[in-house]
Every structure is written in C-alpha cells, then in structure tokens.
Amino acid sequence: VLARILPYPGRFRLALLGAKMARPFKGLVPDARLRAMLEMAPQQIPPVSRNDDPQSFAAVAPQKKRVALMTGCAQKALNTDINDATIRLLTRLGCEVVVAEGAGCCGALTHHMGRETESHATAARNIRAWSAEIDGKGLDAIVINTSGCGTTVKDYGHMFRNAPLAADAARISERCLDISELLMQLDFPAGAEKELTVAYHAACSLQHGQQIKHHPKTLLKRAGFKVVEPADSHLCCGSAGTYNLMQPEISGQLKARKVKTLEAKSPDLIAAGNIGCMMQIGSATDVPILHTVELLDWATGGPKPAAMTAKTQRVSEVPILR
C-alpha cells in the first residue's frame, strides 16, 4: 500500500484527506501500523502549488547558475512551502531554477523497501529528465531540499553502474547538491542578529548519509539566528523513511527522546532539512518546526513562514540581510 501511494503526490493527497477524516476513530483501529498512518495526516493539507509544475524561474539577481530543483513526491503533498521558499531564495541569489519535465519521485521510498524494479524505474525517469536539461541548456547542479532524496540521488551512479544509463546516472550524481551545499557556493550574505533561537535537528540522511554536518548551521548563523543543538544530535528522530509507519512503537520512543532533547534547549523554532523529520518531530511538540530554507528565505526578504506561531510573531519584521 505504501509503495503504491507515497511516491505519487495525487494519490498521497487523497490518502491524507481520508486519514484526516478517519483519525477521530483511530482508537477503533486494532493494527498499530494503520493507526500510525492515520496519525501521520497533518491538520491542514496545503493546496497544490503550481510552482511544482514543469517550468523555469528566471534569476532575479545577475545569473550565476542554472539549476534543476527536484520537487519530490511526499513533500509536495505535505508541505508546499518548502519548494516555494527554495525557488524564491535561489532566484534571489542569482540562480535560474528549472523544474524539469518528467522528473518526480527519487525512488528512495521503494528503494528502502527493497522494491528494486520500482525504485530503479522511478530513478531512470529522473535521470532521463535531467539529462535532457544538461544536454539542452545545461545544468550547474541538481538541487535537493529533502535530504532523504538527496542521499538516494547521489547514489544513482552506483545504482546504475551496470545499466545502459550508467554514464548519465553518474553525471546526475556528480551534479546533485543538497540545498545547503548550493547556498554555500553562492556566498550566502551575512545578516543582522535576530532575537530568535533556532534548535537545529540534523537529519540522519543529511549528517550520516551525505556527511553534511555544518552547512545548515553555518547558514542559519550567518543569517543572524542563534543556533543551538540538542544533546545526542547524531541520533535518529524515528522517522527514517517509512520506519515510523512500519515500526511505530520503536519510532515513537525515538521521537519522544528527540523532542525532549530539542525542547530542553528552549528554542523559539526548530529547523530541519528533511520533510520526514519535520512531520515526525512536529507531531509531538508545540515549538514551530520549519525547513532550514524557509528561515533563510524569510531572512533574505521572503514572507514569514506560515508555521510560525504567536510566540515568534513578536518579531514584527526580520532585519533583511546586508
């Protein structure tokens, strides 16, 4: 069921609506995994963002790079603000952003389930879509703002090493960058100090899978936020792809420990670089949790993230970066 729903935004959106309606009756559901699926549905399901449609967004500042944004699958149904913020931020910093025709789910979810045929077919569609852009107007990078996806796309070269697409897969992996890596290349500007403490949660797929441990914190500090880290920041929050659905009891224990260590820092906000972690942690805390790129977009002139609560609205206006 998960393999047939999660990688398809339209199906997933319908499933979330069904889960939202059924959630008041979750106590009657005997299976813990089904209850976990019902609990996954957010209170508000965002409308479809047309920014996720295949198109090109011109750079606002003098153009430095031409990049493809992977819009993903589950993230498009759960939180459309992340891709919107990414596009605004990158175009503001001098990138033409392309949403390639034919690109979609990275294949990670089915890959983790051991469904190799399905995951490779999904990955192959991305490889062909991005290769067409490289062969056309060229791409300096393929930017990923969901770290679980980035870990998989960076592995395309290995996944297809013995396949006809080996050469194309290798050049896709070589161009794949997490959003924080690309922002570091763009010389993200320094900003005025802000009266907001941000607890940074390091997603496993980012800090362990991609070995990106410092860029997000460096960028948040450069933007003017006070950044703190929870104890045992190397440990998992319990989301881990579909682990929170397949192993809800252990996942719940990991979530409780992670939320406790984050809240111990008394943050105004929690930042993370992966939608799975955001949903997992956000379901157990009242502290607003946002994607790192949403905060960086806000700090450079973008709109205030919708997830922010009255606690943070005391800051009526964020000083724009110099």
In a domain, 319, yes or no: no
Q: Which residues are CB-neighbours of 46 under 8 A, at least 6 positions away?
A: 78, 79, 80, 81
Same domain, 25 and 71: no
Same domain, 209 and 257: yes
Query: Quick one: pLDDT at residue 309?
Result: 56
φ/ψ of residue 197, rounded to 5:
-100, 125
Helix (H) or strand (E) holding 110, with range, is helix 108-112
In a domain, 137, yes or no: yes
DSSP state of 144: E
Are 296 and 183 spatial neighbours (Cβ–Cβ below 8 Å)? Answer: yes
Closest by CA position to 125, among listed 57, 49, 86, 70:
70
**Angstrom distance (rounded) from CA 262 to CA 46:** 26
Same domain, 175 and 204: no
**Angstrom distance (rounded) from CA 243 to CA 205:** 13
Total domains present in the chain: 3
**Angstrom distance (rounded) from CA 153 to CA 294:** 22
Are 238 and 252 spatial neighbours (Cβ–Cβ below 8 Å)? Answer: yes
Same domain, 233 and 196: yes
Domain boundary among the residues 183, 204, 227 is at 183
Domain span including residue 70: 50-183
pLDDT averaged over 10-residue windows placed end to end, the chain, 322 residues: 84 83 80 77 84 96 96 89 97 98 92 91 97 97 96 96 96 97 94 94 95 97 97 94 87 96 97 94 94 97 81 45 40
Closest by CA position to 73, among listed 106, 110, 38, 122:
106
Same domain, 284 and 217: yes
In a domain, 318, yes or no: no
Query: Quick one: pLDDT at residue 40?
Result: 73
In a domain, 241, yes or no: yes
Same domain, 106 and 168: yes
Same domain, 84 and 179: yes
In a domain, 308, yes or no: no
**Angstrom distance (rounded) from CA 87 to CA 98:** 9
In a domain, 309, yes or no: no
Same domain, 134 and 86: yes
Query: Quick one: pLDDT at residue 272?
Result: 97
Domain boundary among the residues 137, 166, 183 is at 183
Q: Model-level pTM greater than 0.75?
A: yes
Query: Quick one: pLDDT at residue 321?
Result: 44
**Angstrom distance (rounded) from CA 153 to CA 59:** 25
Domain boundary among the residues 131, 160, 183 is at 183
| Surface-to-core class of residue 22, CB atoms within 10 Å of its CB (0-12 exposed, 13-18 middle, 19+ buried) | middle
Are 49 and 80 spatial neighbours (Cβ–Cβ below 8 Å)? Answer: yes
Same domain, 30 and 54: no
How many angstroms from the chain centroid is the CA of residue 204?
A: 13
| CATH number, domain with residue 91 | 3.40.50
- Cα-based distances in Å from 204 to 29, 147, 207, 233, 276: 31, 8, 5, 9, 11
In a domain, 254, yes or no: yes
- Cα-based distances in Å from 155 to 117, 180, 254, 261: 16, 18, 27, 32
Are 201 and 281 spatial neighbours (Cβ–Cβ below 8 Å)? Answer: yes
| CATH number, domain with residue 255 | 3.40.50.1860
Same domain, 179 and 210: no
Amino acid symbol at 260 = K
Amino acid symbol at 255 = K
Query: Quick one: pLDDT at residue 316?
Result: 41
Q: Which residue has the tokens 């963002």?
A: 49
Amino acid symbol at 214 = H
**Angstrom distance (rounded) from CA 153 to CA 297:** 24
Are 73 and 6 spatial neighbours (Cβ–Cβ below 8 Å)? Answer: yes
In a domain, 314, yes or no: no
Same domain, 160 and 203: no
Same domain, 96 and 21: no
